Structure 1
Amino acid sequence: MRTVSACTLEYAEVPRPKVATDEAVVQIEHVTLCGTDLHIFEDDYTSELPLIQGHELSGTVVEVADDVAGVAVGDRVAVDPLIACGECATCRKGRGHVCPNLMVFGCYCDGGFVEYLSVSADRLHRIPDGLPTELGAVAEPTAISLESVTRGRAAPGETALVLGCGPIGALATLALHDLGATVIAADTVPDRLDLVREFGASHTLLVDAASRFPTAQLAEVLRDDSSDGPDLVIEATGVPASLANALDVVAPGGRVVQVGISTRPTGFPLKVIPFKEVELLGSRNSQGLIPEALKLIARHQDTVRSLLTHRFAVNELDQAFATMRATDQRVGKVLIDMPAKVQV
């Protein structure tokens, strides 16, 4: 399946890939969709169409190159979709997840909406025994959430505020709770707050998007801790005003991690950063955290499964994208089953 032009899909027969040096061929079984996929489908992203989408992937290894060790036919795997150049200064520093030349399956190059995908073997991570293959597809967004928690140097006993309770915010809440932090979560949608409590939030705040962040309610939540604010704030909405709120409420000496993405400019008084000695950190993709993501999902399978609100076959992708646009129902992660018998 490829997105040919904005909101137009095309299904076609393509040759099965041949295994190359350092690679394995994976039969893709499950793909989950995120907001980026919808933006690509609507041609509101930096991707160039036509494009085979799909970057949150899991499946089974069916062929392995002779020179590959550590991956075997029959292994169930989650796919790390990042393809760094490996040669630039950033890659040489070990930060290939922010490589200036970064390619990503399904975003900047053809991805996982195919029956078979040839992948560099070091991009494959075994799914633990007892963890269903379909939950392995959630490893990529879970790793993104873990990256934000890692960047924020979250520690047991700290208080963290998560702004935005979509899948990334919910999974960050789960990671923080699993670590032993106390989590406060805020969103504009009551249903999301109901969900994030299941992911470990001790307190939730309903925010009116048209007004200032509810600092009075936050102060009440923190009153018993004698705290001057949360130690860590993870901003997972990409709304410029939300970043300003994060800097406003974080404790002096605290950390703010910006994981939500937007092209919109933001503005806030610069003095808040030096006056409170706030650390403002960006977080993008993950620095090799898919194995840790799989372990986290395995420890909390039922919780993570609750994110999968809708399920479609690959020949129902148009319905899947329409569902993602829906405003009359809660849409978490949309799971796509592969392969499917498709009329072409």
Structure 2
Amino acid sequence: MRAARYHGRGDIRIDEVPEPEAGPGQVKVAVDWCGICGSDLHEFLEGPLFIPPPGSPHPLTGETLPVVMGHEFAGTVAELGDGVTGVSVGDRVAVEPYYVCGTCSACQAGRYNICRSLGFVGLAGAQGGFSERCVVDQRWIHPLGELSTDLGALVEPLAVGYHAVRLSALPKGGTAVVFGAGPIGLVTMASLKATGAGQIISVEPAAARKGKAPGAGADVVLDPTEVDVPTAVRDLTEGAGADVAFECAGIDAVLASAIGSVRPGGTVVNVAIWGHAATVDMNSLVISEVAVLGSLAYCGDHPDTIRLLTDGIVDAGQFITARIGLDELVDGGFRQLIEHKDEHVKILVHP
């Protein structure tokens, strides 16, 4: 079968690889759609980051590059391993793309997304969504019911935003400011809207992305090239500041603006994956007792996210800006997102 494999920075190839077989407790998925994630772009431009480099095999998969990429995917069940119940061949499913150890303190506490040995399907080995077939443990299979598999491919990124919102503990009716209206910023806004935020403020300089923010749930869109964002946020909140800010850009100046935009005692949730070590003015945290919270991926969030889509609470179809075949992955997908990022939110790939 064909699969897109990462061989090194800037080197992704469509290779012929053996089709995987479903072992005991595993499910083989025929992949219909797989989204290109910002972390995939980081690997392409700056990696290997999460992908295990030569000489350093992943502790759970035992594998190193080349690896099959793609972790935002959905499809239909093609084969069941021994002992699998509750799902049938032909069912539409989304995949929660994890490898976890199950034994570390985080896993034992139910916070498997911060497993000490965490790996991602599509980054840590031979399985990934940019392939015709993929095998995963049944634990990571989430039935979609009647939801289409193109929307199913959006469950993973939407779960990232939903998890960040859940971690933030934003009270219903509270004010949130989201920095960045790229894919993760937009799904964070959609999750905020779906879970009862009172006022959602989007901060974004790019014209095309500013235009997408209201559809995702933003009540106000601020351009940081035109206004001082912390001042503008305080003006919108009767001088208080936002209850929570979400940093979805991975830029030092944006992090500083997020810290300055929350109320005393407020919270900044970092959702972005950074390509460099962040610089932060610690006194700005201390003086206002601002909490900075990291949010990684998702943990038990897929069922709720699927319900948001199934019930029509979140209109995820608006985020799909292109659909391509596997052969177009690099030029029609990765390079489009890198060179024309203002024109795209989510490009889906059909392996």
Q: TM-score, normalised by structure 1?
A: 0.90
- Residues 12-51 of structure 1 mapped to structure 2, 5 A cutoff: 12-42=15-45, 44-46=47-49, 47=51, 48=53, 49-51=65-67
**Aligned equivalent of 2:350:** 337
- Contact kept, 8 Å, 1:174 with 1:199, in 2: the verdict is yes
RMSD: 2.0
- Contact kept, 8 Å, 2:244 with 2:266, in 1: the verdict is yes
Give the Cα–Cα distance (whole angstroms) in 2 for the partners of residues 332 and 237 of structure 1: 14
- Contact kept, 8 Å, 1:203 with 1:221, in 2: the verdict is no
Amino acid of the structure 2 residue aligned with 1:188: P
In structure 2, the gaps of 5 or more residues are 54-64
Taking a change above 3 Å as real, the CA distance of residues 267 and 36 of structure 1, as seen in their structure-2 partners, is closer
**Aligned equivalent of 2:61:** none
- Count of residue pairs brought into register by the alignment: 332
**Aligned equivalent of 1:220:** 235
- Contact kept, 8 Å, 1:128 with 1:294, in 2: the verdict is no
**Aligned equivalent of 1:341:** none
**Aligned equivalent of 2:155:** 139
- Contact kept, 8 Å, 1:160 with 1:231, in 2: the verdict is yes
**Aligned equivalent of 1:277:** 289
Give the Cα–Cα distance (whole angstroms) in 1 for the partners of residues 96 and 292 of structure 2: 27
Among 190, 201, 209, the residue aligned to 2:207? 190
**Aligned equivalent of 1:253:** 265
- 1:175 aligned to 2:206? no
**Aligned equivalent of 1:321:** 334
3-state SS of 1:188 partner: coil
- Contact kept, 8 Å, 2:98 with 2:118, in 1: the verdict is yes
In structure 1, the gaps of 5 or more residues are 339-344
- Contact kept, 8 Å, 1:33 with 1:334, in 2: the verdict is yes
Question: CA offsets per residue over residues 196-223 of structure 1, 9 Å max, x none?
Answer: 1011111110112xx984333223322x
Give the Cα–Cα distance (whole angstroms) in 1 for the partners of residues 289 and 46 of structure 2: 40
Give the Cα–Cα distance (whole angstroms) in 1 for the partners of residues 24 and 293 of structure 2: 38
Give the Cα–Cα distance (whole angstroms) in 2 for the partners of residues 10 and 165 of structure 1: 30
How far residue 139 of structure 1 moved from its aligned partner, in angstroms, is 0.8
Give the Cα–Cα distance (whole angstroms) in 1 for the partners of residues 90 and 73 of structure 2: 16
- Contact kept, 8 Å, 1:5 with 1:43, in 2: the verdict is no
How far residue 327 of structure 1 moved from its aligned partner, in angstroms, is 3.3
- Contact kept, 8 Å, 2:206 with 2:342, in 1: the verdict is no
Give the Cα–Cα distance (whole angstroms) in 2 for the partners of residues 39 and 266 of structure 1: 16
Among 277, 289, 309, the residue aligned to 1:265? 277
Instruction: Select between 144-153 and 329-338 the one with higher mean Cα deviation.
Output: 329-338
Taking a change above 3 Å as real, the CA distance of residues 42 and 233 of structure 1, as seen in their structure-2 partners, is closer
Question: CA offsets per residue over residues 296-339 of structure 1, 9 Å max, x none?
Answer: 2334488311211111111211222221122385121111012x
- Contact kept, 8 Å, 2:173 with 2:196, in 1: the verdict is yes
3-state SS of 2:246 partner: strand
**Aligned equivalent of 1:310:** 322
Taking a change above 3 Å as real, the CA distance of residues 329 and 236 of structure 1, as seen in their structure-2 partners, is closer
Q: TM-score, normalised by structure 2?
A: 0.89
**Aligned equivalent of 1:77:** 93
Among 77, 81, 99, the residue aligned to 2:115? 99
